[in-house]
Structure 1
Amino acid sequence: MKAVYGIVLFVFFLTACQQNKQQQTANSIGDTATIDGHPAWIMQGNIYEVNVRQYTAAGTFKAFEPNLDRLKNMGVQTLWFMPINPISKVDRKGSLGSYYAVSTYMDVNPEFGTMADWKHLVSLCHEKGFKVILDWVPNHTGADHYWLTKHPDFYVKDSTGKPMMAADWADTRKLNYANQELRDTMIAQMKYWIDSTGIDGYRCDVASDVPDDFWKTCIATLRKDKNIFMLAEGDKPELNADGFDATYTWYDFNIMKEIAKGKKPASAIDSAIHRTENQFPKNALRMFFTSNHDENSWNGADFSTMPGKIHAPFAVYTQTIVRSVPLIYSGQEEPILRAIRFFDKDTMVFKNFERAPFYSKLLHLRSENSALAANAAFTHIHTNVDNKVFAFIRTMGNNKVLVVLNWSNSPVTVTLNHPQIIGSATELFSNEHVNFAKGASLSLPDWGYKVFVY
């Protein structure tokens, strides 16, 4: 029996060493390395969504540049820029129109600057160590894209023979992916921005409405020349299978909102975790968030969906849960507690950066500790108050992180009766040193949270 136990320990030790070696090797190789089929740099990375129009009073690429050092110090790694293409004027919404009603894919919106300005910004981002992904709108164009006259067969027609609008967006026209020339043109124009401007990947708008077989061909083609990161706006397993690295966690986010409102217990999040584990490919990454441009503009996230201190324990979850590539939306670090207008100028005012230290702790821990890598092991820790508290441990090699979240409006005393908690740890936010034994207890205030680093 002792011999068998010894073999088990040896195998466990060997596996841990291999995991650690894998992570170190990938990091040392750099941009060409992959882990589980993904760019190695995203596995402990994060995304910050940039709303160029509203970020500064000028709303230009050049005006955004002075923010790079601040964001770098906060720990931001990947910058996702909302669409930078010119916006259609026909059927335009509001005074400036929707970013997602593109009039040409091959230029930049003159309100933001020139193509030279964009290339300079990308180059500067790379100099400072950022990755850059660009928002791409493949499902539809704006209502005056030149394809409507030069290539009318690129569009789906309605019963009258006119180009059909996409969904209920009157300022758009839906593209026809039954047309092979459209497919080839779309891939070529996406390739242009990678080759010519040096971006590191795409966030693809309404990706679920574009055929899966297109994505398989498109992503494979784009990856021939660069190890790009691909994010799909969609929450279906097929998108990960098509080649996207990460997909949206809409299902998970909706449960989080219900927990925040007190309508569901903390344990309700189990269904979201099980859904990902059972339905998505084993290497699928998932983008977790507490806000983004859609949720902020139309649903009041995060100031309405997770108001005040309620936001923090959910933000910790997005940064630490398994498979996560966490997102921060422009202004959440301030925080800007209002919906940012979508079709008109509505400048964000940055002044206090009250949440920046909070985010900085999480972002830096994630980048420095392999236990928070997207593919690090995950163990759910059951407690005496699972209806209020969600607790888990992440491990990779010798690294271990324990996360305990009070998703309720009342203080709790949590008992952690699990052997994996045993050991000496330091709490991330308070710097408190703790020696955990099995059955240890800790107190959390309402909406409290603790992250212990072993």
Structure 2
Amino acid sequence: MRLGLTLLASAVLAAPALAAPDYTPRDYVEVRNAEWTRDAVIYQLNTRQFTSEGTFRAATRQLPRLAAMGVDIVWLMPIHPIGEANRKGSLGSPYAVRNYRAVNPELGTEADFRAFVAEAHRLGLKVILDWVANHSATDNPLTKSHPEWYTRTPEGALMSPQGTDWSDVADFDYSQPGLRQYMTESLAHWVREYGIDGFRCDVAGYVPTDFWETARAELDTVKPVFMLAEWEQRDLHARAFDATYGWGWKEAMQKLVRSGEGAGAIRGYYAAQAETWPRAAMRMIYTENHDQNSWDGVASQIYGPAYEAAIALSFTGSGLPLIYNGQEADNDRQLKFFERDPIVWKEGKHAALFAKLIALKTATPALHNGRFGAPMVEVPTSESADVYAFTRGAPGERIFAVFNLSPRPHAVTFDKARHHGRYTDALTGAPARFGGGETLDLPAWGYRIFKETK
């Protein structure tokens, strides 16, 4: 026994010392955002409905208008040939891809698309493509050339993604290395051959995260890209995506509009964002997009009298704002998803608001995206149940915003000195000063945005 203890003691003394743990905080987000994403505003363009012609050529003629609005990234809904088997409607869903390396002839030619990208770049705009990696059209040639790349029913048939009614598509099986290689090379094809600047990735959470991480690394060897995931998951930001959907923002805003309960829901969203998401993670915020417009309703009807406040908050709170084509023209109907249904363009009453908010975001570092911007600091008010007030930025360059997120008017006073300073109204240019004792009268769903002056 004594010999055994001696040997044990000798082994312990001879064992190498354990490395001291490193308690230094590490940045969870390893993705390096391209500099042009700093103050980016995204504009979603549905080529099928964007012009009366529904073509790249017609859309190209509208790019100067978008550049003049101040948007930075043009997101094109899928531009690939659409499957014919099990097609929904007469034109089918653009999310039923028949060929990942070709252009849908209904929208134009490859030369037309190249011209679109070239003009966008000339105007200082970036172009990202909608990418459908999780499934293809049921008549995509890959179903014949690589049948092993698809998920199968117990009987061996192609199947839609589980739990969906997407009867026009077949689910991919990402346990197949060949599929991963093909899809990554297809993504790189559009960056290398057409010069596009990134992707919005459809139902990104249905595809394994390690695929996206590998694909992002490959794409960044071609050029710095911007990647937006249609999903809400922190892990996607680590090594794959610049931005994810802020569905929680939309849900909170729509909840408080429906109920009239006040600002609690949106306060909870921003609190959870600050506590549980990395600050470098860009979260895309929107009042309308193609899914909401086609299936839920028109934004102006969903938000009603709170619509302008919702738009303004999407630009001043933390988040990467999105504009859906037609919002600036006050589009007042749900666009058909599987048919041609062109937007009726007119001078919209919200066009000027969008332009002012974009200009404010561009000129104000505190409002920039992700790691580039400043956190929100809540300013307590006398009407905290209904009113949400906050600052962003360091003293001397702050934004101070006050939102009455209720159907009740309020005379608002402020506690503490978190917002004290000299400002101008960011939308009207009127001077304002806050030093204590001020009252701000806000109508139902009213808001004010102030920019600090030095």
* 1:207-226 map, 5 Å: 207-226=204-223
Structure 2 counterpart of 1:196, from 193, 196, 199:
193
CA distance in 2, matches of 1:363, 1:127: 20
Q: Deviations over 1:4-26 (max 9, x none)?
A: xxxxxxxxxxxxxxxxxxxxxxx
Distance 1:396 1:229, change over 3 A: farther
- Tell me whether 424-433 or 118-127 shows the greater mean CA deviation: 424-433
**Alpha-carbon distance, 1:379 to partner:** 0.6
- Tell me whether 234-243 or 351-360 shows the greater mean CA deviation: 234-243
**Alpha-carbon distance, 1:64 to partner:** 0.9
**2:337 alignment counterpart:** 342
CA distance in 2, matches of 1:35, 1:451: 33
SS of the residue 1:164 aligns to? coil
Structure 1 counterpart of 2:174, from 177, 182, 186:
177
The ranges of structure 1 where at least 4 consecutive aligned residues each deviate by more than 4 angstroms after the TM superposition are: none
**Alpha-carbon distance, 1:397 to partner:** 7.3
Structure 2 counterpart of 1:419, from 417, 420, 436:
417
Q: Deviations over 1:191-245 (max 9, x none)?
A: 0000111111100000010011111111111112211110000011122224211
CA distance in 1, matches of 2:285, 2:310: 10
SS of the residue 2:256 aligns to? helix
**2:60 alignment counterpart:** 65
**Alpha-carbon distance, 1:95 to partner:** 0.7
TM-score for both structures, normalised by structure 2: 0.90
SS of the residue 1:426 aligns to? strand
Q: Deviations over 1:291-331 (max 9, x none)?
A: 10001110004133212x31111111111112x11000011
Unaligned 5+ segments in structure 1 are 1-33
CA distance in 2, matches of 1:283, 1:381: 23
**2:295 alignment counterpart:** 298
* 1:47-58 map, 5 Å: 47-58=42-53
TM-score for both structures, normalised by structure 1: 0.90
* 1:53-452 map, 5 Å: 53-166=48-161, 167-307=164-304, 309-322=305-318, 324-374=319-369, 375-396=373-394, 398-452=396-450
Unaligned 5+ segments in structure 2 are 1-28
CA distance in 2, matches of 1:327, 1:301: 15
Letter in 2 for 1:329: Y
Letter in 2 for 1:103: R
The answer to whether the Cα contact below 8 Å between 1:240 and 1:280 also exists between their aligned partners in 2 is no
CA distance in 1, matches of 2:308, 2:197: 30
CA distance in 2, matches of 1:406, 1:271: 15
CA distance in 1, matches of 2:217, 2:411: 51
The answer to whether the Cα contact below 8 Å between 1:240 and 1:246 also exists between their aligned partners in 2 is yes
**1:11 alignment counterpart:** none
SS of the residue 2:166 aligns to? coil
**1:13 alignment counterpart:** none
Letter in 2 for 1:310: A
Letter in 2 for 1:292: N
* Aligned residue pair count: 419
CA distance in 2, matches of 1:36, 1:386: 37
CA distance in 2, matches of 1:416, 1:199: 47
RMSD between superposed Cα atoms in Å: 1.6
Q: Deviations over 1:336-372 (max 9, x none)?
A: 0111110011110101222110000000111111121
Q: Deviations over 1:413-441 (max 9, x none)?
A: 11122313211111122221111112422
**Alpha-carbon distance, 1:252 to partner:** 1.8
**Alpha-carbon distance, 1:332 to partner:** 0.6
The answer to whether the Cα contact below 8 Å between 2:300 and 2:332 also exists between their aligned partners in 1 is yes
- Tell me whether 145-154 or 273-282 shows the greater mean CA deviation: 273-282
